[in-house]
Chains A and B, each alone.
Chain A
Amino acid sequence: QEAAKYEKKVMVLDFVTPTPLGNSWGLGGTCVNVGCIPKKLMHQAALLGQALQDSRKFGWQFPEEVRHNWMTMTESVQNYIGSLNWGYRVALREKKVTYENAYGEFVGPHTVKATNKRGVEKLYTAEKFLIATGERPRYLGIPGDKEYCISSDDLFSLPYCPGKTLVVGASYVALECAGFLAGIGLDVTVMVRSILLRGFDQDIANKIGEYMEEHGINFIREFVPIKVEQIEEGTPGILKVTSKSTKGNEIIEGEYNTVLLAIGRDACTRKIGLDKVGVIINEKTGKIPVNDKEQTNVPYIYAIGDILQDKLELTPVAIQAGRLLVRRLYAGATTKCDYVNVPTTVFTPLEYGACGYSEEAAVKKFGEENIEVYHSHFWPLEWTVPSRDNNKCYAKIICNIQDNERVIGFHVLGPNAGEVTQGFAAAMKCGITKEQLDSTIGIHPVCAEV
C-alpha cells in the first residue's frame, strides 16, 4: 500500500496453502487470520469469563453456573476476520494495487510464476521484489501428527468445541492458547519439553507458568509426544497420546479430545524458487539473512517480516519495516527500521508486557554489578473486592548503572500489560532514566503507577 502511494505499479500475490486438515483463509496474513487478532479476541472471551466471576462480588446477580458456547464465539470472531479480509481487498483496490490470489515462486531473474487454486499459471516480471511470506506452524514428525493434531492455523476456526485439550509446546502461542481455552472452561494440559517462553525473561516466564497452574491448567514437564492415535472418531473425537520423558525412559499415555501443536513456526521460503534466483537462505532455519536495509544477497530482492533471520516475529515490526523500506526505495528517505527496544506483550491469563533486556540478557551484556533491578509486587485495585490473587502481579525495571541508571529493561505482569507497556516503550525510546521515572507522577489508582 505504501509503494502505491508513490505511483508505482504494484502487485501482491497472496496464497494460503491449506493446513493438513484442510483449513484455509483470506487476505491479511497470519496476524489477521490465525494470529494476533483471533488470539486477542479469544483471550478477551476468557477474560470476560473471569469478569463474570468478579462481577458477583461487585453486586451483579445471575445463576451460579454460566456456560460458554464455542460456536457463538468462533462465529463472531470469524465474521470479524472476514470483514478485515474484505477491508484489505478494498484497500488494495482503492490504492490500485493489483492483487492475485495465487502461489508465487521465482522461475528466473526478475520473473515469478503465479499459480492459482485451479492450477492456472501466469508469469509476471518486476523491477523489484519483496518476499513477505511469513511462516507456518511446525509439526512434530511423529506418527499421527498431521492426521490428528491441529495447530493455531486450525484452532481459531474450529467448527466444534475442542474439549479436553493437550497443548504441546511452551512458546507464547502455546501458553496463550492454553490460557484462553482454560479460561472458557475447558480441561487443558500443557506438555513442555524444557523451559517456558524461551528467549523471554525466565523469572517472569516462571511466574506466568505458576499462575496458570494455580488457575487449573495442568503442566507435564520434560516430556515429548512420540505417537498420536485415534481411539474414537468425532468432532471432537478421542485421541491417545504416548509421550516419552526427556530425562529417561519413562513413557506416559493420555487421552484428549484435541491435541494442539505449538512447537514453533517454519519460514515459507523453501518452495518459492529462491534457488532459481540465487537468494541465500539459512539452510537450517529457512530464514533469510538481510542487511540493515532489508535487502537479500540479490540486490533487487528484499524481504521483511517473520522470515527474516535474527529479527523479531511481530506484526508491528513487519509493518514498520515494510513502510520504511518503500520510503527508502521510492521517496528518497534514509530511515532504517529501528529494531531496538521493540515492546511486546504475551496475552497469557496474567498478561506480560516487556520492552528491552530480560534480566538474564542484561546481566550477560553488562555484568551483574553494572545493573540495578527495581521490582515490586502489586495488587490491582479491581482484584481487591473479589479477593483475587493477592501478590501475583509484578513489575520490574532494569537499569544500567554506568549510563546514568538508564532504563534498559521494562517488565510488567498484570492486567492490560500491553496498554501499560506501550507508553513505557516510548519513554525508553527517549532514553528515560530511573531518576526521571521516579519524578514522574503516577495516575491513581491504576496498575501502571506502580
Chain B
Amino acid sequence: GKNEYDLLVIGGGSGGLACAKEAAQFGRKVAVLDYVEPSPQGTKWGLGGTCVNVGCIPKKLMHQAALLGSALKDAQHYGWNIAQPVHHTWSVMAQAVQNYVKSLNWGHRVQLQDKKVKYFNMQGSFSDPHTIRGLTKAGKETVVTAENIVIATGGRPKYPTHVAGALEYGITSDDLFWLKESPRKTLTPFVFNVSLECAGFLTGIGLDTTVMMRSIPLRGFDQQMASLVTEHMECYGTKFLKRCFPTKVEKLESNRLQVTWKNTDLGTEETDCFDTVMWAVGRAPDVKTLNLDAVGVKTNSETGKIIVDASEATSVPHIYAIGDITEGRPELTPTAIAAGKLLARRLFGQSSELMDYDNVPTTVFTPLEYGCVGLSEEAAVQCYGSDNIEVYHAYYKPLEFTVAERDATQCYIKMVCLQEREQRILGLHFIGPNAGEVIQGFALGIKCGATYSQLMKTVGIHPTCAEEITKLHITKRSGLDATVTGC
C-alpha cells in the first residue's frame, strides 16, 4: 500500500507498547513514536510511559520503602534487636528506584527491537489522517505514514494556574520520583490518589508531610472507605489541612517556599514554610502537540480527552485512541494494556472482542492499602435504591498486627450486594495490608457474577486477612457491631 506502516502508535506507554507489540505478533509493520516533554522543572525519562517512569512502578517501590520502615518497627516486637529510631536516606532509595526504572526503559527498547517494531524518539503531530510529522529534540523532522494510527499519549500533571508561583516553585509527581535529594518538609495540595499515595510514603520514610484538601478525598471512590484511608494516614503521622486551598507560593531567601492558603472553614488566611510543594491537582490529556484539529479528531470540551467508541475508534476512520487519553475510561495501566492488545487483535487478528471496562479492580497504595472492585456503596444506592441492596461489613485485625501492637482501627471490609435471592455482589472493598493481592482473585469471581452465597461456601485460608471476606455476615442494616472476634 501507499502507507509505510500498517500501524503507527503515538505514545510508548502501557497502552501504546502493548498495542504495538501485539500487532507485530501478527507480522505487521509497526512503529512507535515516544517523546517526553521535560517537566517545567526539567525532569525527563525514557521509554515506557507514565506507569514505568513516574507512576505505578516508582510509586509502589517507594511505598514499599515506607512499608519496610513499619516492618522495622514491628521487627522489634518479633524479637529482632534493632535500635530505634532507624533513619532513612532518600538518595539511596531514589537511586535504587531510578536504576530499576532505567532497566525497564532498556528492557522495553530491547523488546521492541526483538519484535521488530520501529522506535522513533520523536514528538508526533498529525499532518493528515494517515501522516504524522515526527520532531526530534534537536528539531529534525521525519514524516511517517500509516494505514492505522493509535493515539496513546497519556496525560501529564496539571498545575493550578490561578496560584501565583505554582509553576515556578512547585513540582509534581513527574519530578518527585527523580529527585536526587530528599524533598524534606513537603506540602501536597491534592485531589487524587497518586498524591495521597505519595504523601503516605513520604511520611513513612520519616519526612514532615502535609496534605491540603479543598473538599473530599479520593473523589469517585467509595467515600466511607476514602475517609478510613485518610483517617489512618492521620494516625500514621501525615498532617491534613482540610477545607483549605492555596493562593500563592513564594520563594524565600533561604530557598524554602512560603505557601499562603485560605481556610474556608474559618475564613482565615494562613501561611507556613516548606521545602517542597508537590501539586497533585489532576492530570491533563497530552493532546496539545498532536494537532488533532488538522484531522478532526473530536475531544471532550470539558476534559480535553479524546472521545472514542466501544472499539476505541475516534471520530476519524483509522485513527484510534487508548489509555489515559481517552474520555470515560479508568486511568489505569492494566486497562490500557488490555485495550491495546484487544485493539491490535481486532485490527489484524480477525478478533471481534471488545474491551470490557466493567468491574475493573484497583488498589490505592496508601500506608494502609485500599483495594476495590465494582460499585461503591453510593453508586449502588443510586443505581438500585437502598432498599434493594444489602451491605455486609466487618472490622478485622490482621494477625501480624497483634504481636506488633499495631492499631487496626481502620482495617475494614465491605461487600455491597443486591438484596434479592442469591445476592449478587456489586462491589467489594477492602482496607488492609496487601489489598491488591487480596482483591485480585475476588475480582475474577465478580466477573463470573459471584453471589454472597457462593462466597460463603468458599472455605477460608487460615490465617490470612482475605479469609475475612468469606466470613462476612453482619449487615449494616442490622446495626450490630461488626468487629470480628475470635480466631
Using a CB–CB cutoff of 8 Å, the interface residues on chain A facing chain B are 28, 31-32, 36-37, 40-41, 44-45, 48-49, 51-52, 54-55, 57-63, 66-74, 76-77, 80, 84, 87-88, 91, 184, 314-317, 320, 338, 341-345, 353, 381-382, 384-385, 416, 418-427, 429-432, 436-437, 439-449
Cβ of A442: which chain B residues have Cβ within 8 Å of it? 334, 361, 440
B357, closest chain A residue (CB): A441
A441 adjacent to B335 (CB under 8 Å)? yes
Bound-state Cα–Cα, A70 to B81, Å: 11
Asked whether, in the complex, the Cβ of A425 is within 8 Å of the Cβ of B458, the reply is yes
CA distance A300 to B446 in the complex (A): 41
In the A-B complex, the 4 residue pairs with the smallest Cβ-Cβ separation, listed nearest first, are A423-B441, A73-B79, A59-B93, A422-B466
Whole-angstrom distance between the Cβ of B429 and the nearest chain A Cβ: 13
CA of A449 to CA of B441, assembled, Å: 9
B96 within 8 Å of A (CB atoms): yes
Bound Cα distance from A441 to B336, whole angstroms: 10
Q: Identify the closest chain B residue to A72 (Cβ).
A: B79
Q: Considering the chains assembled together, what is the distance between the CA atoms of A55 and B97 in angstroms?
A: 13
Residue from A37, A88, A344, A426 in contact with B399 in the complex, judged by beta carbons closer than 8 Å: A37
| Interfacial chain B residues near A436, Cβ < 8 Å | 444, 447-448
Quick check: B399 and A443 within 8 Å, CB to CB? no
Interface class of chain B by DSSP:
helix
Chain A residues with Cβ below 8 Å from B78 are 41, 44-45, 48, 72-73, 76
Mark contacts of B419-444 with chain A using CB atoms, 8 A cut-off: 1 yes-contact digit, 0 otherwise.
00000000000000010111111111
Q: Does B74 contact A (CB under 8 A)?
A: yes
The contact string, 1 if C-beta is below 8 Å from chain A, for chain B 42-78, is 0000000001000011001100110011011011011
- Considering the complex, give the chain A residue whose CB is closest to the CB of B74: A48
Residues of chain B having any CB pair with chain A under 8 Å: 51, 56-57, 60-61, 64-65, 68-69, 71-72, 74-75, 77-83, 86-94, 96-97, 100, 205, 332-335, 338, 356, 359-363, 371, 399-400, 402-403, 434, 436-445, 447-450, 454-455, 457-467, 469-470, 485-487
Report the minimal beta-carbon distance from A40 to chain B, rounded to whole angstroms: 5
**Are the CB atoms of A446 and B436 closer together than 8 Å?**
yes
- Per a CB cutoff under 8 Å, which of B65, B443, B455 touches A443? B443
Contact residue among A184, A385, A423 (Cβ-Cβ distance under 8 Å from B440) = A423
Query: A49-B75, A426-B455 in contact; A316/B81 too (CB < 8 A)?
Result: no
Q: Which residues of A contact B469 (CB under 8 A)?
A: 422-423, 426
Q: How far is the CB of A385 from chain B (nearest CB, A)?
A: 5
7 A–B contacts from the bound complex (CB under 8 Å): A32-B487, A40-B463, A41-B403, A52-B82, A55-B71, A436-B448, A449-B440
Q: How far is A418 from B399 in the complex, measured between Cα atoms in Å?
A: 13
A344 to B51, CA, bound (A): 33
Question: How long is the Cα–Cα vector from A419 to B65 in the complex, in angstroms?
Answer: 21
Closest Cβ neighbor of B465 among chain A residues: A419
Q: How far is the CA of A429 from the CA of B96 in the complex (A)?
A: 42
A341 partner residues in chain B, CB cutoff 8 A:
458
B100 close to A69 (CB less than 8 A): no
* Chain B residues, Cβ within 8 Å of A353: 461
Q: A55-B68, A431-B448, A449-B334 are in contact. Are A316 and B83 (CB under 8 A)?
A: no
Given the interface pairs A52-B71, A316-B461, A443-B362, the reply to whether A57 lies near B96 with Cβ below 8 Å is yes
User: B80: which A residues are within 8 A, CB to CB?
Assistant: 45, 48-49, 52, 66-69
| A442 vs B90: C-alpha distance when bound (angstroms) | 30
Whether B437 lies near A446 (C-beta < 8 A) is yes
Known: A66-B82, A429-B457, A432-B448. A423 touches B75 (CB 8 A): no
Which one of B72, B90, B356, B470 contacts A439 once the chains associate, using CB atoms below 8 Å?
B356
Residues of B within 8 A of A80 (CB): 402-403
B338 in contact with A441 (CB, 8 Å): yes
Distance to closest chain A CB from B62 (angstroms) = 8
Q: Known contacts being A88-B486, A382-B61, A439-B356, is A426 close to B445, with CB within 8 Å? A: yes
- Please measure, in the bound complex, the distance between the C-alpha atom of A448 and the C-alpha atom of B371, giving whole angstroms: 13
List residues of chain A with CB within 8 A of the CB of B83.
62-63
Which of A58, A76, A77 has a CB less than 8 Å from the CB of B93? A58
Please give me the residue from chain B that is nearest to A45 by CB atom.
B78
B contact residues around A445 at 8 Å (CB): 56-57, 60
- The one of A36, A76, A342, A449 that contacts B403, using a Cβ cutoff of 8 Å: A76
A72 to B462 Cα, complex, angstroms: 25
Which residue of the partner chain B has the closest CB to A80?
B402
Give the residues in chain B near A58, CB-CB below 8 Å. 61, 64-65, 68, 92-93, 96
A61 proximity list for chain B (CB < 8 A): 86-89, 92
Contact of A385 among B87, B100, B464 (CB under 8 A): B100
Set of chain A residues within 8 Å of B371, measured between Cβ atoms: 443
Residues of B close to A59: CB separation below 8 A:
65, 88-94, 96, 205
Asked if B81 and A423 sit within 8 Å, CB to CB, the answer is no
Which residues on the B side are within 8 Å of A66 (C-beta)?
75, 80-82
Contact across chains for B461 and A345 when beta carbons are under 8 A apart: yes
Q: How far is the CA of A44 from the CA of B486 in the complex (A)?
A: 20
Q: A67-B81, A345-B464, A432-B448 are in contact. List 6 more A-B contacts (CB 8 A).
A: A60-B87, A62-B86, A72-B78, A314-B459, A437-B444, A439-B447
Expressed in whole angstroms, the Cα–Cα distance for A73 and B464 within the complex equals 20
**Contact residues in A for B88 (Cβ distance below 8 Å):** 59-61
Instruction: Provide the bound-state CA to CA distance between A77 and B400, in Å.
Output: 10
A420 close to B51 (CB less than 8 A): no
Given contacts A36-B463, A84-B487, contact A76 B60 (CB under 8 A): no
Nearest A-chain residue to B84, judged by Cβ: A62
Is the beta-carbon distance between A425 and B69 smaller than 8 angstroms? no
A416–B434 touching, CB < 8 Å: yes
Q: Give B352 Cβ to nearest chain A Cβ, in Å.
A: 14
Whether A426 contacts B360 in the complex (CB less than 8 A), given A61-B88, A381-B57, comes out as no
User: Nearest Cβ distance between residue B415 and chain A, in whole angstroms?
Assistant: 11
Contact residues in A for B332 (Cβ distance below 8 Å): 441, 444
Question: A426 is contacted by which of B338, B436, B441 (Cβ under 8 Å)?
Answer: B441
The docked-state distance in angstroms from the alpha carbon of A290 to that of B32 is: 65
Residue of B nearest to A62 (CB): B86
Kindly report which residue of chain A lies nearest to residue B94, judged by CB atoms: A59
Chain A residues within 8 Å of B442, by CB: 422-423, 426-427
Q: Output the residue of B465, B469, B486 with the most chain A CB within 10 A.
A: B486
Q: Which of B72, B356, B444, B463 sits near A60, CB closer than 8 Å?
A: B72
A48 touching B440 by the CB < 8 A rule? no
Contacts of A424 in B (CB 8 A): 440-441, 444
- With A427-B441, A429-B458 as known contacts, state yes or no: A419 contacts B466, CB within 8 Å: yes
Residues in B whose Cβ lies below 8 Å from that of A316: 459-462, 467
Q: What separation, in Å, do the CA atoms of A63 and B81 have in the docked complex?
A: 11
Closest CB-CB distance, B140 to chain A, in whole Å?
Answer: 35
Q: Is the CB of A443 within 8 A of B363?
A: yes
A88 surroundings in chain B (CB, below 8 A)? 486
Contact A427 B444 (CB under 8 A): yes
A341 to B458, CA, bound (A): 8
Residue of A36, A76, A444 with most partner-chain B CB within 10 A: A444
Q: A184 near B79 (CB under 8 angstroms)?
A: yes
Distance, CA A84 to CA B460, complexed state (A): 19
Per a CB cutoff under 8 Å, which of B449, B460, B464, B487 touches A31? Answer: B487
CB distance from B454 to the nearest CB of A (A): 5
Contact of B333 among A84, A427, A444 (CB under 8 A): A444
